[in-house]
Amino acid sequence: MLTILVINSKGGSGKTTLTTNLASYYASKKVRTAIMDYDPQGSSIQWLRLRPDEAVKIHGANAAPAKGAIPLRSTHAWVPADTEITIIDAPAGTKGMLLQELVRKSNFIVIPVAPSPIDIHATADFIKELFLFGGARNAKVKIAVVANRVRNSSSKVYESLERFLNSLKLPFLTSIHDSENYLYAAEQGLGVFEMDGPATIAERQELMPILKWLNGQFPDRFGSRLEDNAPSPEGSKKFAMGTQNVTVLSATGRFKNQP
Ligand SMILES: Nc1ncnc2c1ncn2[C@@H]1O[C@H](COP(=O)(O)OP(=O)(O)OP(=O)(O)O)[C@@H](O)[C@H]1O
Ligand SMILES: [Mg+2]
What pTM did the predictor assign? Answer: 0.89
Instruction: Please tell me the predicted confidence (pLDDT) of residue 230.
Output: 62
- Whether 175 lines ligand 1, by a CB cut-off of 6 Å, is no
Distance of CA 212 to the CA centre of its chain: 14
Coil, strand or helix: which one is 112?
strand
**Angle subtended at Cα 207 by Cα 246 and Cα 201, rounded to the nearest 5 degrees:** 50
Distance of CA 249 to the CA centre of its chain: 24
Ligand 1 atom closest to Cα of residue 180: 4
Instruction: Please tell me the predicted confidence (pLDDT) of residue 100.
Output: 95
Digit-coded pLDDT (tens) for 115-173: 888 999 999 999 999 999 999 988 889 999 999 999 876 667 888 888 889 999 999 99
Q: How far is CA 225 from CA 41, 102, 213, 232, 253, in A?
A: 33, 27, 16, 9, 20
Instruction: Output the CA 136–ligand 2 centroid distance in Å.
Output: 22
Concatenating the DSSP letter of every residue in 61-110 gives EE-PPPTTS-TTS-S-----TT-SEEEEEPPTT--HHHHHHHHHH-SEEE
Instruction: Please tell me the predicted confidence (pLDDT) of residue 243.
Output: 45
Instruction: Please tell me the predicted confidence (pLDDT) of residue 257.
Output: 35
165 CB-near residues (< 8 Å, 6+ apart): 127, 145, 171, 172
In the chain, the number of structural domains is 1
Q: Is 52 exposed, middle or buried (0-12, 13-18, 19+ CB in 10 A)?
A: middle
For residue 207, which of 136, 139, 143, 147 has the smallest C-alpha distance? 147
Residue 97's domain is classified under what CATH number? 3.40.50.300
Domain, as residue range, for 174: 2-224+232-258
- Whether 11 lines ligand 1, by a CB cut-off of 6 Å, is yes
Name the stretches of the chain with pLDDT < 70.
67-76, 153-155, 229-236, 241-259
For residue 236, which of 85, 84, 82, 55 has the smallest C-alpha distance? 55
Instruction: Output the CA 218–ligand 1 centroid distance in Å.
Output: 28
Instruction: Output the CA 11–ligand 1 centroid distance in Å.
Output: 9
The amino acid sitting at 88 is I
CB of 141 closer than 8 Å to CB of 103? yes
Coil, strand or helix: which one is 161?
helix
Instruction: Please tell me the predicted confidence (pLDDT) of residue 254.
Output: 30
Q: Which of 8, 10, 16 to mutate to test the pocket of ligand 1 (most atoms within 8 A of CB)?
A: 16
Please state, as a whole number, how many other Cβ atoms lie within 10 Å of the Cβ of residue 55: 22
